[in-house]
Amino acid sequence: MKQNALIARLTGWPKSVAMFVVLAVAISLPQTAQGSTSTLYDFDTPGQLTEVFNSAGSGVANISEVTTGGIGNSGAITAPSSDTDAVFSTKEGYSLGPVGSTYTFTSYIKSVYNSGYSGLGFTGSSPATDANGTPFRPSDAIGISVHGGGFIVHNGTSDYSGDWEGLDNDGTITTVKAAPMFDLLNHGSPDDWYKIVFSIERATETTFDVRIEVWPVNADGSVIDPSEASSIMEVNGITNSAIQSAPLIYSFFSFSGQRVSHFDNYGVNLSGGASVIRAGEPVVLTGDVAVVDRVATANGEVTSENGGTVVERGIVYSTDSEPTINDEKLESGSGLGTYSASTSELPPGSYYLRAYATNETGTSYGAEVQRIITADTPTTTSTPEPEEVLLPTTGSNTNDFLALATASGTLGALMALTAIVRRRARTL
């Protein structure tokens, strides 16, 4: 590695010791993990469709739940062979997370008819009372509608059309992998089942990137070719002011015309900072979490009171995942806006932190952030001053470095490295 050779040159150490330094630095940095949340609607429980989703469209009455016929002959949603326009959006919403937040929607569809669409994505309202168009979908949607030979990406009232082979795509569409056949959703699976994966990433403060994958599957849900999706398409740089400004966003799936006989295992995964918000509860985001002298300072922001009044907000943390207000709690005011809160000095361990906010309806939480504090994490009483570190630049550096790393931990070794590099650099 180039950094090993550079450190060896500047310090006079053998490259093996330089490599040790690089590894020591890498493993000693505080580790961070942004939690993810996954929800699966398998439709095996009767009444799940009406309990979890709001509906809109002239064809809602045509859609029903059945106890057989789904993946593995389990419960599923069934649609008739007649024209059906219907949108189902979650009653729970999601926060619009920070840049890097990713929302991944997965559905299994049985594609047996030839003149319709199956759709899924985002909308800013639930129920989607403004749903319209062909394909039928919410008018503000960032979403996808798939059919036998291709797909349509929706961005509000704008549509970008493409085919699974990538031969006749709109100029905004990037073909990552082309399908081996044109009519993929009619001939790609002997059992007519397909797994559709649609992901939306907040690429910048004002743009979104989307990705579509099609995986032909067997009737039991097993993927026919697990190595890679049969077709992968992307559209980057989407701007959508309605979604951008919505206090909450909701996932939806839709039916349009005649396409799907069965719809099953609808999944939503949130990562990178977004979180699930129950109906009526405030929208709160977890911001940066910094650790200095074993004290964690976490930032939060209440972006919407969601029809109520936020009477309390703050940070919760625990050594267990998904901390709540019943764990360690740091209150930090009320109402809308940004805030921060700091823990006391923490002992070594793995900690999970997230923002919270409470209104009359209940308490909601931002995304979970993990911080690992080790015995080497500096405290104000044990941090050595850089000028106190004096090591020679001869071959004895190896023993001196290892001795200091053992006695003072990684911080002391890094101080020594800094001093040596500075001294050696002045002589080059």
301: domain CATH number is 2.60.40.10
Q: What is the mean pLDDT of residues 412-419?
A: 42
Domain match, 419 and 351 both: no
Which neighbouring-strand residues pair with 160? 153
Domain match, 13 and 53 both: no
Residue 277 covered by a domain:
no
Domain match, 260 and 190 both: yes
Residue 416 covered by a domain:
yes
pLDDT at 316 over 90: yes
- pLDDT computed for residue 372 by the predictor: 93
Question: CATH no. for residue 233?
Answer: 2.60.120
Domain match, 7 and 122 both: no
Domain match, 187 and 319 both: no
**Which tokens is 191 given?**
């059992």
* Strand order through the sheet with 283-292: 283-292, 295-304, 337-342
Q: How many domains, the chain? A: 3
Q: What is the mean pLDDT of residues 123-145?
A: 94
Q: What is the mean pLDDT of residues 177-206?
A: 96
**Which tokens is 258 given?**
């005649």
Please give the helix or strand (H or E) that residue 107 lies within, else none.
Answer: strand 102-123
pLDDT at 311 over 70: yes
Amino acid at 125: S
How are the residues of the chain apportioned to helix, strand and coil, as percentages rounded to the nearest 5?
Answer: 20, 40, 40
Report the range of poorest mean pLDDT among 11-20, 232-241, 302-311.
Answer: 11-20
Domain ends where: 271, 295, 314?
Answer: 271
Cα separation, 292 vs 82, whole angstroms: 63
Domain match, 331 and 407 both: no
Cα separation, 356 vs 313, whole angstroms: 6
b/e 126-150 (16+ beta carbons within 10 angstroms → b):
bbbebbebebbbbbbbbbbbbbbbb
Residue 354 covered by a domain:
yes
378 band by pLDDT with thresholds 50, 70 and 90: low
Q: What percent of the chain has pLDDT over 70?
A: 80
Domain match, 204 and 114 both: yes
Residue 276 covered by a domain:
no
Domain match, 192 and 327 both: no
b/e 331-349 (16+ beta carbons within 10 angstroms → b):
ebebeeeebbbebeebeee
pLDDT at 193 over 60: yes
Q: Could you count the other beta carbons within 10 Å of the beta carbon of residue 307?
A: 13
83 vs 187, higher pLDDT: 187
Under 8 Å between Cβ of 76 and 219:
no
CB within 8 A of 284, min separation 6: which ones?
Answer: 95, 275, 300, 301, 302, 303, 313, 355, 356, 357, 364, 365, 366
Report the chain's mean pLDDT, rounded to a whole number: 84
- pLDDT computed for residue 247 by the predictor: 87
Residue 111 covered by a domain:
yes
Does pTM top 0.85 for this prediction?
Answer: no
Domain match, 352 and 411 both: no
State how beta strands 276-277 and 86-90 pair.
Answer: unpaired
Residue 46 covered by a domain:
yes
pLDDT at 100 over 50: yes
388 vs 38, higher pLDDT: 38
Domain ends where: 271, 304, 327?
Answer: 271
Q: What's the first-to-final CA gap in the chain, in angstroms?
A: 21
35 band by pLDDT with thresholds 50, 70 and 90: low
Domain ends where: 271, 301, 328?
Answer: 271
Residue 179 covered by a domain:
yes
Q: What percent of the chain has pLDDT over 90?
A: 73
Q: Phi and psi (nearest 5°) for 331?
A: -75, 145
391 band by pLDDT with thresholds 50, 70 and 90: very low
- pLDDT computed for residue 81 by the predictor: 82
- pLDDT computed for residue 388 by the predictor: 34
Q: What is the mean pLDDT of residues 379-388?
A: 35
Domain match, 308 and 342 both: yes
Q: What is the mean pLDDT of residues 336-351?
A: 96
Domain match, 259 and 231 both: yes
pLDDT at 375 over 70: yes
What is the span of the domain harbouring residue 405? Answer: 2-29+384-427
pLDDT at 428 over 70: no
pLDDT at 105 over 80: yes
Under 8 Å between Cβ of 51 and 70:
no
Amino acid at 248: L
Under 8 Å between Cβ of 151 and 173:
no
Residue 379 covered by a domain:
no
Domain match, 83 and 13 both: no
19 band by pLDDT with thresholds 50, 70 and 90: very low
